[in-house]
C-alpha cells in the first residue's frame, strides 16, 4: 500500500497547494490513500466543515488536526458526524469527535489512522502512550488492518521519537507534525516502522512557521498584546511523507519525503510508479 501524509496545511496558500497537487500526486505516485493534517487550514487556526469538504473533493481521504482542532467553533457540532475528520485520541473523555479513523481503498485495503497530542509544552493531556496502547489492542497490523498511520502532533522531538520506538513493529508509519519545519530523518526503524520527526508544514516558508513575518517579529519584540497573527500569503511548499508498506505484514518497505513548490528545495522519491 502507498500512503502519502501531507503536513500541517496553513491558510489559503496551503489549501491551494493541496487542491492543486492532490490529483497529480494521487496519479503519479499511484497512491492508495492521501491523508492531510488540516489543523491550520482556516486562516491558520483550525478547520471548518466547508474547508474539509473542499479538501475531500480534491481527493483527500482523511483529515487529521491537532491542538487547534476546535479553534473554529463551527467544527464542534459537525465533527461528531464526520468520520473522515479526526481530533487527537488523547483528549479528555466526552470531547466531540474521534481520534481514530479508517480509509478503505479502492483495492479493498484498510488503512487505520490515529492521532495523539504530545504532553511536553502542549498543556495538560492524557497519556499518549496509554491511549495508543488501548487503541492498538483492538487492531492487528497485517491482520485486521493492512496499514496503520500514527500522527504524533507534538513540540518535543524527544517525545515523538520515544513514541515511535514504543510503536516500532506495530504500525506502518509514525509521522511527527506541529513544529512546521521538515526534518531530514525519514527512515525505517529496526522493527519495520517508518518514522519522520516532522513532516513540515504546507504553507509559505517566507514566514515564521507559516504566519506573516512582520506580525511575528512585532510580537517577539514586544511584551504588549498585539493583533492576531495572520498566515503568510506567498506560494506554499507542499511537504509530505510517502510510505510504501508490505502487503503481507503492513510494515514499511520504503519511506521518503515529498516537497513541491515554494521556497524549499524539492524532494521526490526515486521509486515512483
Instruction: List the catalytic residue out of 68, 153, 178, 180.
Output: 68
The conformation of residue 241, written as its DSSP 8-state character, comes to: E
Asked if 68 is an active-site residue, the reply is: yes
Looking at the DSSP bridge assignments, the partners of residue 150 are 114, 174
Work out whether strand 100-104 and strand 110-117 pair parallel, antiparallel, or are unpaired: antiparallel
Q: Has residue 266 been placed in a domain?
A: no
Q: Has residue 205 been placed in a domain?
A: yes
Q: Has residue 254 been placed in a domain?
A: yes
pTM of the model: 0.96
* 52, 57, 60, 66: CA torsion to nearest 10: 0
Q: Has residue 272 been placed in a domain?
A: no
Q: Has residue 17 been placed in a domain?
A: yes
Domain count of the fold of the chain: 1
Q: How far is CA 29 from the centre of its chain?
A: 18
Q: Has residue 265 been placed in a domain?
A: no
pLDDT tens-digit profile, the chain (273 residues): 999 999 999 999 999 999 999 999 999 999 999 999 999 999 999 999 999 999 999 999 999 999 999 999 999 999 999 999 999 999 999 999 999 999 999 889 999 999 999 998 887 788 999 999 999 999 999 999 999 999 999 999 999 999 999 999 999 999 999 999 999 999 999 999 999 999 999 999 999 999 999 999 998 998 888 888 999 999 999 999 999 999 999 999 999 999 999 999 999 999 865
Q: Has residue 271 been placed in a domain?
A: no
Residue range of the domain that includes 91: 2-260
Looking at the DSSP bridge assignments, the partners of residue 112 are 102, 148
CATH number of the domain that residue 227 is part of: 3.60.21.10
- Quick one: 268 exposed, middle or buried, by C-beta within 10 A (0-12, 13-18, 19+)? middle
Spatial distance between the Cα atoms of 74 and 47, rounded to a whole number of angstroms: 9
- Quick one: 181 exposed, middle or buried, by C-beta within 10 A (0-12, 13-18, 19+)? middle
- Beta-carbon-side half-sphere exposure of residue 171 (alpha carbons within 13 Å): 28
Q: Has residue 84 been placed in a domain?
A: yes
Amino acid at each position: 500500500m502507498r500512503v502519502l501524509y501531507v503536513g500541517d496545511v496553513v491558510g489559503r496558500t496551503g489549501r491551494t497547494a493541496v487542491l492543486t497537487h492532490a490529483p497529480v500526486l494521487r496519479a503519479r505516485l499511484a497512491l492508495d490513500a492521501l491523508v492531510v493534517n488540516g489543523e491550520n487550514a482556516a486562516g491558520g487556526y483550525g478547520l471548518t466543515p466547508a474547508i474539509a469538504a473542499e479538501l475531500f473533493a480534491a481527493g483527500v481521504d482523511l483529515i487529521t488536526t491537532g491542538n487547534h482542532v476546535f479553534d473554529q467553533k463551527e467544527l464542534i457540532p459537525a465533527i461528531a458526524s464526520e468520520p473522515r475528520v479526526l481530533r487527537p485520541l488523547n483528549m479528555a473523555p466526552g470531547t466531540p469527535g474521534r481520534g481514530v479513523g479508517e480509509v478503505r481503498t479502492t483495492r479493498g485495503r484498510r488503512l487505520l489512522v490515529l492521532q495523539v497530542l504530545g504532553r511536553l509544552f502542549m498543556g495538560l493531556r492524557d497519556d499518549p502512550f496509554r491511549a495508543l496502547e488501548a487503541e492498538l489492542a483492538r487492531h492487528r497490523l497485517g491482520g485486521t488492518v493492512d496499514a496503520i498511520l500514527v500522527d504524533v502532533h507534538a513540540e518535543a522531538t524527544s517525545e515523538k521519537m520515544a513514541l515511535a520506538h514504543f510503536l516500532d513493529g506495530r504500525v506502518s508509519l509514525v509521522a511527527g507534525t506541529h513544529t512546521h519545519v521538515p526534518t531530514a530523518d525519514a527512515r525505517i526503524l529496526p522493527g519495520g516502522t517508518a518514522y519522520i520527526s516532522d513532516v513540515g508544514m504546507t504553507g509559505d516558508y517566507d514566514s515564521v512557521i507559516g504566519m506573516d513575518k512582520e506580525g511575528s517579529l512585532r510580537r517577539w519584540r514586544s511584551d504588549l498584546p498585539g493583533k492576531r497573527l495572520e498566515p503568510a500569503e506567498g506560494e506554499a511548499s507542499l511537504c509530505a511523507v510517502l510510505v510504501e508498506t508490505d502487503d503481507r505484514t503492513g510494515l514499511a518497505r520504503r519511506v521518503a519525503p515529498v516537497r513541491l513548490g515554494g521556497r524549499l528545495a524539492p524532494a521526490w522519491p526515486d521509486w515512483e510508479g
